[in-house]
């Protein structure tokens, strides 16, 4: 069930080399010219002082926003935990008073 199933091997007859050549081609094949490396069309990025300042300002803003979100989430969890603890103490005291009666 888990053994791989391979497709059957190609059983096509081999084509002789004489069939591959055309009548117009010379008897000796000349090698194709080597490809020339092309220069990319994209311009290079130039960092000017204004651009660097904008990047630093943007990064600082992102860090401050993410930090504020994380601190507010931590504060929300702390407030929720405190309120649950207060509710537990109140319920415990109410149940203890009921048992004393």
pLDDT digits (tens, 9 = 90+) for 65-99: 999 999 999 999 999 999 999 999 999 999 998 88
Does 77 map to a domain? yes
**Into how many domains does the chain fold?**
1
Cα dihedral 31→34→35→38 (10° resolution): -160
Q: Is residue 17 part of a domain?
A: no
**Counts of helices then strands in the chain (DSSP H, E):** 2, 0
Q: Computed from CA positions of residues 60, 64, 66, 70, in that sequence, does the dihedral angle turn out positive or negative? A: positive
Neighbours of 53 (CB within 10 A): 10
- Whole-number Å distance between alpha carbons of 89 and 83: 10
Residue 31 lies inside a defined structural domain of this protein: no
Its pTM surpasses 0.85? no
- pLDDT exceeds cutoff 60 at 23: no
Cα(20)–Cα(10) distance, integer angstroms? 19
> Could you tell me if residue 97 is inside a domain?
yes
Residue 95, domain extent: 68-101
In a domain, 27, yes or no: no
**Residue 60 domain flag:** no
Residue 88 forms part of a structural domain: yes
Is residue 90 included in any domain, yes or no?
Answer: yes
């Amino acid at each position: 069930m888990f053994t791989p199933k391979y497709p059957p091997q190609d059983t096509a007859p081999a084509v002789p080399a004489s069939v591959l050549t055309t009548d117009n081609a010379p008897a000796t094949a000349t090698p194709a010219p080597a490809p020339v490396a092309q220069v990319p069309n994209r311009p290079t990025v130039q960092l000017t002082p204004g651009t660097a300042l904008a990047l630093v300002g943007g990064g600082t803003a992102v860090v401050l926003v993410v930090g504020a979100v994380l601190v507010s989430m931590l504060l929300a969890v702390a407030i929720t935990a405190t309120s649950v603890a207060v509710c537990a103490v109140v319920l415990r005291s109410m149940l203890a008073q009921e048992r004393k009666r």
